[in-house]
Structure 1
Amino acid sequence: MTYEEPPRPERRWIQGVRPVWLPALALAFLQVAGSSVAGRHQPERVALDPLGYALLLAGPALLLARRRHPVAVAAGTSAVTLAYVALGYPYGPVFASLVVSWFSAVVAGHRRAVLVVASVVAACHVLVGQWLYRWLPPSGDSRTTWGQLSAAAAWLLAVLAAAELFRVRRERIVRERRERAEAERRRVGEERLRIARELHDVLAHSISVINVQAGVALALMDERPEQARTALVTIKAASKEALGEVRQVLSTLRAPGEAPRSPAPGLDRLPELVEQATAAGLAAEVSVEGDRVPLPPGADLAAFRIVQEALTNIVRHSGARSARIGLRYLPGCVEVRVDDDGPAVTGGESGGGNGLVGMRERAAALGGTIETGPRPDGGFRVLARLPHSVPSTGAGTPADDSAGTLAPAAEERP
């Protein structure tokens, strides 16, 4: 597990949202300094006076409230800019506050309101340039041509189009980040489910063997100590194997992304399951039909766990002392079958586990099927069909055995 140092307080504005006053301060300096310099080259315009400087500072001041009231700020900066132009002050970067306020309002989702404000600004600009210029400073000003009005309208449309493109791009980035975060949460949940399923299969099988052998040891401790000793040896071996498998599963929590130190179990370890079942008093026979084909890691692990869980259920929930394991290699899939002759044990603890649910999840994650239930002639059957090829999924890979969702209700054999 890695420790990530939290951001320092002095860097909070760099890593997060910038302070709202920073752009406003920069725009205030730009508009005042830029307009002062531009006024020297526009002698026909009105020289800047206290009212002109106040209008230049009013726009940036209004931007301080653009995050809380974007539409009102857009309308206010538009009114200030129109007043500055209508009073005949020099042209310059006075339009910067207008552009920033429109951008902020459009990005905040108020596109229609900004369109209304822009329409009013355009109409007022036409009104001033075509009619009111006679009574407004500077004196002797001429009528604005339609070419100039068209250029101003095109400039306004360009600002609105750029703001809309920026809004769309920002929303796409936010959506992609949200989708990545959801995929990561889903991956973490699936990994937890996989680890829980592995722990259930390992512990249920091993503890069932230990429980049976402990009962045998207690019953034979006084009369047949040698057989009791054999049972204790079996308990030691089963507990050692369980600890090894639990350590292997939990190692993924301590070092995520690293390869396991030992390979995941598969059908090549089927003889070990048979030996453990025999030590628990269950005679298991294995039959194989068809030519063996190598299975993908996910399918090999799923087949092993299904057989392991089926034998565990027989030991815990059935009165049968024998089981038959059948492997049948068919074109495109492998068929795993586990039968016992029953009958089901009554009055015992069921454990309330998720054994049969876990079997179905493993098979479904690989695109396979599983059937469980009583046989017509008595006993119980588990029949799984797992494909040779692994289907691809968007959330996880079946080789990791991480697909599927835990069913709400636990299910065990009757």
Structure 2
Amino acid sequence: MKAQPGWVEASRRLSPYLDPAIGIVAAVFALASLLSTDPGTIDPRLAEPNILSAVATLAAAGALAWRRRRPVASYAVMVAGALVVSLTDHYIGLLSVLSLFSLYSLAAHGQRRDALVGLGAGVACFGGLALLDVPDLGLSDLLQALALLTAAWAIGDAIRSRRQQQRDQLNAAVAEERLRIARDLHDVVAHSMSLIAVQAGVGAHVIRSDVPAAQRSLEIIADTARKALVQTRSMLGMLREETQDSARPPTHGLADLPALVDDVRAAGLDIELSRAPLPGLDAAVSLTAYRVIQESLTNVIKHSAASTAMVTVAAIDHMIDLEVIDPGPARTPSGTPSGHGLVGLAERVRLVGGAVEYGTHDAGFRVHATLPAGGTR
């Protein structure tokens, strides 16, 4: 995995200690604000600080220590402590600012419903205190407090929404990548196992009567298994977030079509390949075209009694035209291959902006796909 920048690693390590530090610092400054301010200069009705006001101030400000882990509880303690200080006619001091930070934390790190309830509770508390005519809360102070509460909630809610959107995008990207790897695994495993099954059957049939042919079947099985193992390891490496690209085999494409045809011919299926010169293709389109032909030929091996298949690759305007025809007949009563191969094939084609159709063709089966040469994902 790639090494993270030093500041990213440092912030990750310090993150568990950040909120407790904020709580401690906030409690110290809030208490200092309460004890060092002459309440008479603020409002003559304010009382001198006592034990109750000091404890309530410490508890309210210290609740920021769990503002992200328990945002609802943190905000509830903040509001309760601020109410105790205000209702006992003591100077609220720094708690008025810290309560805004607490509401922001609730909106940014809690559920939206809880944040709305918190905003409503804050508005109700200020409104109730104004009706009780507590010291140091005039009409202008009330309006300013309500505006600041709304702003704190709005900023926190915007950050929470943005963070949720980023998480959703990341989850969608991860799901798409895993789906792509699942398709690749299916294509590799299904194709390789089909070839191995055919060659194992041939080898078992001729092992006594034609030893060289049986040996050739075993060689094809070993070679196919090795290729499948290399590709499977590469895909599993992607799931483990291994980024050593040099250790991975190159992505397949239409340039690898002759090797694919040779592998299928070795399994006993003769391929009539018609391949026109193609323009430079987008790598994703080339891979998709390769997988379309690979899956189609795999289905011929698995489901058809035919001894030959026709593969046509042509360029029409700015499109790549692919056709694989299995003349049949099918080995089973149903002429439509089962499983997830064709479903994944259709998904692949749609992702690059192409179209695919498949179905019975005379006694056999036909797959036809058109892909944009440049790709329009």
Q: In structure 2, do the counterparts of structure 1 residues 11 and 241 end up closer, same or farther at CA, with 3 Å as the change threshold?
A: closer
- CA positional deviation for 1:171: 1.7
The residue that corresponds to 1:208 in the other structure is 194
Asked if 2 retains the 8 angstrom alpha-carbon contact of 1:103 and 1:160, the reply is no
CA distance in 1, matches of 2:359, 2:190: 20
CA distance in 2, matches of 1:359, 1:34: 74
Aligned pair 1:266/2:253, yes or no?
A: yes
SS of the residue corresponding to residue 367 of structure 2 reads strand
Q: How does 1:11-410 map to 2 (within 5 A)?
A: 14-16=17-19, 23-35=26-38, 52-54=49-51, 56-57=53-54, 59-60=56-57, 63=60, 67-68=75-76, 72-80=80-88, 83-84=89-90, 94-101=92-99, 104=102, 108-109=115-116, 110-125=118-133, 152-259=138-245, 261-289=248-276, 291-346=277-332, 353-375=339-361, 377-392=362-377
CA distance in 1, matches of 2:119, 2:167: 28
- CA positional deviation for 1:353: 3.4
**Scaled by the length of structure 2, what TM-score is found?**
0.78
Q: In structure 2, do the counterparts of structure 1 residues 66 and 345 end up closer, same or farther at CA, with 3 Å as the change threshold?
A: closer
The residue that corresponds to 1:397 in the other structure is none
Question: Which structure shows the bigger proportion of residues in helix conformation?
Answer: 2
Task: Kindly provide the CA deviation profile for residues 318-370 of structure 1, in whole angstroms up to 9, marking residues without a partner as x.
Answer: 0111100011212232111100111110289x996321111111111112111
Asked if 2 retains the 8 angstrom alpha-carbon contact of 1:372 and 1:383, the reply is yes
SS of the residue corresponding to residue 37 of structure 2 reads helix
Q: In structure 2, do the counterparts of structure 1 residues 128 and 200 end up closer, same or farther at CA, with 3 Å as the change threshold?
A: closer
Q: In structure 2, do the counterparts of structure 1 residues 391 and 154 end up closer, same or farther at CA, with 3 Å as the change threshold?
A: farther
CA distance in 2, matches of 1:344, 1:47: 94
CA distance in 2, matches of 1:59, 1:69: 9
Asked if 2 retains the 8 angstrom alpha-carbon contact of 1:28 and 1:56, the reply is no
Q: How many residues align?
A: 348
Q: Which amino acid aligns with 2:122?
A: V
Q: Which amino acid aligns with 2:270?
A: A
Q: Return 24-33 or 113-122, whichever deviates more.
A: 113-122
SS of the residue corresponding to residue 245 of structure 2 reads coil
CA distance in 2, matches of 1:55, 1:249: 64
CA distance in 1, matches of 2:373, 2:291: 16
Asked if 1 retains the 8 angstrom alpha-carbon contact of 2:103 and 2:152, the reply is no
SS of the residue corresponding to residue 305 of structure 2 reads coil
Q: Return 380-389 or 21-30, whichever deviates more.
A: 21-30
Identity of aligned residues (%): 31
Asked if 2 retains the 8 angstrom alpha-carbon contact of 1:373 and 1:380, the reply is yes
SS of the residue corresponding to residue 296 of structure 2 reads helix
**Scaled by the length of structure 1, what TM-score is found?**
0.72
The residue that corresponds to 2:68 in the other structure is none
Task: Kindly provide the CA deviation profile for residues 59-103 of structure 1, in whole angstroms up to 9, marking residues without a partner as x.
Answer: 5156268633565445434323xx34xxxxxxxx64333443466
> Which ranges of structure 2 fall in alignment gaps of 5 or more residues?
64-72, 107-114
Task: Kindly provide the CA deviation profile for residues 40-61 of structure 1, in whole angstroms up to 9, marking residues without a partner as x.
Answer: xx6x969976xx4357526515
Q: In structure 2, do the counterparts of structure 1 residues 173 and 164 end up closer, same or farther at CA, with 3 Å as the change threshold?
A: same
- CA positional deviation for 1:157: 2.7
Q: Which amino acid aligns with 2:26?
A: P
Asked if 2 retains the 8 angstrom alpha-carbon contact of 1:285 and 1:323, the reply is yes
Task: Kindly provide the CA deviation profile for residues 202-254 of structure 1, in whole angstroms up to 9, marking residues without a partner as x.
Answer: 12112211211121122112112222222223223322322332233333234
Q: Return 228-237 or 12-21, whichever deviates more.
A: 12-21
Q: Return 329-338 or 184-193, whichever deviates more.
A: 184-193
Q: Which amino acid aligns with 2:268?
A: G
- CA positional deviation for 1:124: 5.0
Task: Kindly provide the CA deviation profile for residues 270-306 of structure 1, in whole angstroms up to 9, marking residues without a partner as x.
Answer: 11121112111111011135x5112111110111011
Q: Which amino acid aligns with 1:388?
A: A
CA distance in 1, matches of 2:249, 2:367: 28
Q: Which amino acid aligns with 1:262?
A: P
Q: In structure 2, do the counterparts of structure 1 residues 55 and 306 end up closer, same or farther at CA, with 3 Å as the change threshold?
A: same
RMSD (Å), alpha carbons: 3.6
